[in-house]
Amino acid sequence: MAKLSKAEQAAAELRHRRYTFAGKVGERFPAVASITLQQTWHDPDYPKDDPTTKTARRGPDGSAFFELACANRECVGGGIDLAEEIQNMVSSGETSRTGRRRCEGWQDAERVNKHRCWMELEYTIDIDYRSEEAP
C-alpha cells in the first residue's frame, strides 16, 4: 500500500473530523425520519459508458455526513458535499429534490493544477419526516 503524502494525510484527517462532528441524522435533524440519496455518476470523458448508480437510506441513527467521494478513483481533492442542500431542504420542509453537480477535484495525481476531474453527479434526495402523533 502506498504511503500518503502529508497533504493527502491532512486531507484524510480533516475529512474524518468532519465525519465525526457531523453527528447522527436524528440529532442534527430531529424532524427527519429518513433521508434517501440516489446518486448516479457520469464520466464526461466516456459518455457512452453505463453510469454508476447507488442508493443509500439513512435513518435517525445514520450519519449526517453527506460528503460523497468522487466516483473517479484517481480523483485528487474532489467529491461532492450535499450537506448544505439537505440542510436547506429540512429548513423548508421540502421532501424531494433532484440536481446535478460537477466534481472540481483534479483528474489524477499527474494532472493536479492542470486538468479538473469534472465527473458529474446526478442526484435525488428524498426526505421522510416524522409524523406528529396525536395527543
Q: Which amino acid is at 17?
A: R
Whole-prediction pTM value? 0.81
Q: Are the C-beta atoms of 127 and 34 separated by less than 8 Å?
A: yes
**5-27: pLDDT as tens digits:** 666 666 667 776 776 777 899 99
**68-104: pLDDT as tens digits:** 989 888 888 889 999 999 999 999 999 999 999 999 9
**126-135: pLDDT as tens digits:** 999 998 633 3
Domain boundaries, the chain: 6-129
Q: Work out the burial of residue 119: count CB atoms within 10 Å of its CB; fewer than 13 is exposed, 13-18 middle, 19 or more buried.
A: buried
